[in-house]
Amino acid sequence: MALKPLGLGLASRRVLSDVVTDDLRDAIISHDLEPGRRIAEDELALQMGVSRGPIREALMRLDREGLVTIERHKGARVASWDDTDIQEIYSMRSALEVLAIEWACKNATASDLKAMEEILNVYSKLSEKQRTPREVSRLDLEFHTALFAAAHHERLFKTWEVLRSQIHAFLVYTWSQDGKINKVFLPQWGPDHKVFVEVIRNKQVEKAKETVLGHVERGLARVATHFVEEPKPKKRVAKR
């Protein structure tokens, strides 16, 4: 059974709270709602033309995803990031990806490998100009999602989905601070990921683990040096 109902248009009977969740997530990831911003249920409900029920549900889900922060009787805010968060996220990511590639070596099917290669294929067909940091990062997250799917490990996949949202969110923030992250990163992306598919196909578990560890560590280094710290209003008093 497919872990994720791949977004192929069929849009199957989505429920209102799903729509709200996705819209809100996009708004947060794209920074239409800036970090720290207050989200009032009534206001959002009015704005989206739905009642409070689905809004509450969406906010709770995004809280679980780490994109918003809910405090009792105080409501929800868009989450914000500092370097502690980066450290946490990438250390989790290392641990999870190592486990993922381990399981993928055992469980990956032909179609799993094909899905991963398909993403590499899409990348290779992009023109130089299309290889924007944003687009490549989107493909990057998609590739790693395919890797996690190949592990066939339900709980691992769900945990990754949470992490992915957070990575996605602060990556966009990082780009907005520094548009030219990509000098060394982008040309390397394709070859770097081809290795993943190969070691999985050949079931070279140890080499796979090393590969993925190095990969994530380089990712962290890249992000950390470019991440511009943002004052985190965790417990700040709101000034009017």
Partner DNA sequence: AAACTGTTGTTTGTAAACAACAATAGACCA
Partner DNA sequence: TGGTCTATTGTTGTTTACAAACAACAGTTT
- Residues of this chain that interact with a copy of itself (CB under 8 A) are 1, 13, 15, 56-57, 60-61, 64, 66, 72, 88-89, 91-92, 95-96, 98-99, 103, 153-156, 159, 163, 235, 237
232: Cβ contacts below 8 Å, ≥ 6 apart? 36, 80, 81, 82
Using rule CB under 7 A, residue 238 touches DNA: yes
Among 22, 32, 34, 42, binds DNA (CB under 7 A): 42
Minimum CB–partner distance for residue 34 and DNA (Å) = 17
CB of 20 to DNA, least distance (A): 8
Tokens of 230: 């943002």
> CB under 5 to 8 A by kind: which of a copy of itself, DNA, none does 99 bind?
a copy of itself
Q: Which is nearer to a copy of itself, 73 or 125 (CB)?
A: 73
Closest distance of CB 228 from a copy of itself, Å? 22
How is the chain split among helix, strand and coil, in percent rounded to 5? 65, 5, 30
Alpha-carbon gap, residue 109 to 174, rounded angstroms: 35
Among 1, 7, 74, 155, binds DNA (CB under 7 A): 74
Binding span for DNA by CB under 7 A among 41-49, 87-95, 102-110, 185-193: 41-49
How many residues in the shown chain lie near DNA by CB under 7 A? 27
Residue with Cβ nearer a copy of itself (57 or 198): 57
Instruction: Pick from 51, 91, 176, 177 the residue near DNA by CB under 7 A.
Output: 51
Strand spans (E) along the chain: 38-39, 68-71, 75-78
Stretch that binds DNA, among 21-29, 48-56, 115-123, 168-176 (CB under 7 A): 48-56
Give SS3 for 6: coil
Q: What is the DSSP letter of 142?
A: H
Q: Which is nearer to a copy of itself, 123 or 148 (CB)?
A: 148
Rg of the Cα trace of the chain?
19
How would you label 39-70 residue by residue, b for 16+ Cβ within 10 Å and e otherwise?
A: bebeebbeebebeeebbbbbbebbbebbbbbe
Which of 215, 83, 77, 235 minimizes the C-alpha distance to 144? 215
* Minimum distance of DNA from residue 32's CB (angstroms): 18
Which residue type occupies 37?
A: R
Output the six-digit token pair for 32.
């239409």
x/- contact string, 14-33, with DNA (CB under 7 A)? -xxxx---------------
